[in-house]
Amino acid sequence: MRRAKILLLLAAVLLVAVIAVGCSGAKETGQSGEKGALTLKIGATPVPHKEILEFAKPLLKEKGVDLEIVEFTDYVLPNKALASGELDANYFQHIPYLEEFSKENNLDLTYTTKVHFEPMGIYPGKVKSLDQVKEGAQIAVPNDVTNEARALLLLEKAGLLKIKPGAGLKATKNDIIENPKKIEIKELEAAQIPRSLPDVDLAVINGNYAVEAGLTAGKDALLSEDKNSEAAQTYANIIAIRKGDENKEAIKILDQVLTSPEVKKFIEDKYQGAVVPVF
């Protein structure tokens, strides 16, 4: 009788061990438990980043990656969540912002690929074409250093003024060396500029704020930055990751999908020039 109890106990222990091994094996396939699946948790802001990721989700699924998207509405938490391990990657920012934020917060982050660019455009206000700009015209531009420089370079490209050589993406209105029409540069918060259109002759608007205002660079702008411009290459939006994760299989697959012909066509068709693929 005692021997039978011992054998029964041993059988129970063996059964528990087998179940434990089976559960362990399921966890190794990814959080979904689906055999062979990889799970990738990525943070993104709503437009256009989350929309692009939602489109890419089934494409990633086909390649064995289950994508979980976490939406953020600010530019601070996504990098902190990535650094702490809550996310595997994030998609919302350009390289200068990532580098500056990482330095200020002592974060060990990097990036893998450039996906898209949100071009600035010159949009009509009281004036409906560039050749109608008269002496003393008011043009609204963003008041932060980076975006003001981009705006001034675009106005230079339009032939409305000339910037000091070498000023580049650090230019301010103090670097204007030729202003034949005596244009008044009106510096405003970037988010406020679309609402200023009825009050100014022209306005230079960031891509994301143009989209939110129902404007697209391809249809509505009189002139916009192109993907080969200095700004496009500098301010392309990227996939950020922790340093050391560059060779993770799921990250590599994400990069492949986000630079695929399917994603390129989606961006071009949906955003009509307000968001431009840079691959």
Query: Rounded to the nearest 10 degrees, how much is the dihedral formed by the CA atoms of 149, 109, 31, 254?
Result: 50
Q: What is the pLDDT of residues 213-244, one digit of tens each?
A: 999 888 899 999 987 888 888 999 999 999 99
pLDDT of 122 > 50? The answer is yes
Residues 145 and 196 in one domain: yes
pLDDT of 139 > 80? The answer is yes
Residues 69 and 129 in one domain: no
- How much is the pLDDT for 34? 52
- How much is the pLDDT for 116? 96
Run of H or E including 249: helix 249-258
Residues 178 and 272 in one domain: no
Pairing of β 202-205 and β 121-124: antiparallel
Residue predicted with more confidence, 40 or 6: 40
Residue predicted with more confidence, 23 or 194: 194
Ranges of beta strands (E only) in 127-201 are 138-142, 162-163, 176-178, 184-188
Residues 264 and 203 in one domain: no
Residues 259 and 218 in one domain: no
CATH number of the domain that 247 lies in?
3.40.190.10
Assigned domain for 30 exists: no
Q: How many CB atoms lie within 10 A of CB 32?
A: 12
Residue predicted with more confidence, 86 or 12: 86
Residue predicted with more confidence, 20 or 205: 205
- How much is the pLDDT for 52? 97
- Average pLDDT over the chain reads 88
Assigned domain for 131 exists: yes
CA 142 to chain centre: 19
Residues 249 and 217 in one domain: no
* Residue 198 structural domain: 121-224
Residues 110 and 243 in one domain: yes
Domain's final residue, options 181, 201, 224: 224
Cα–Cα distance measured from residue 84 to residue 183, given in angstroms and rounded to the nearest whole number: 48
Assigned domain for 25 exists: no
pLDDT (average), residues 183-207: 95
Residues 113 and 128 in one domain: no
Find out whether 189 and 142 touch, Cβ atoms under 8 Å: yes
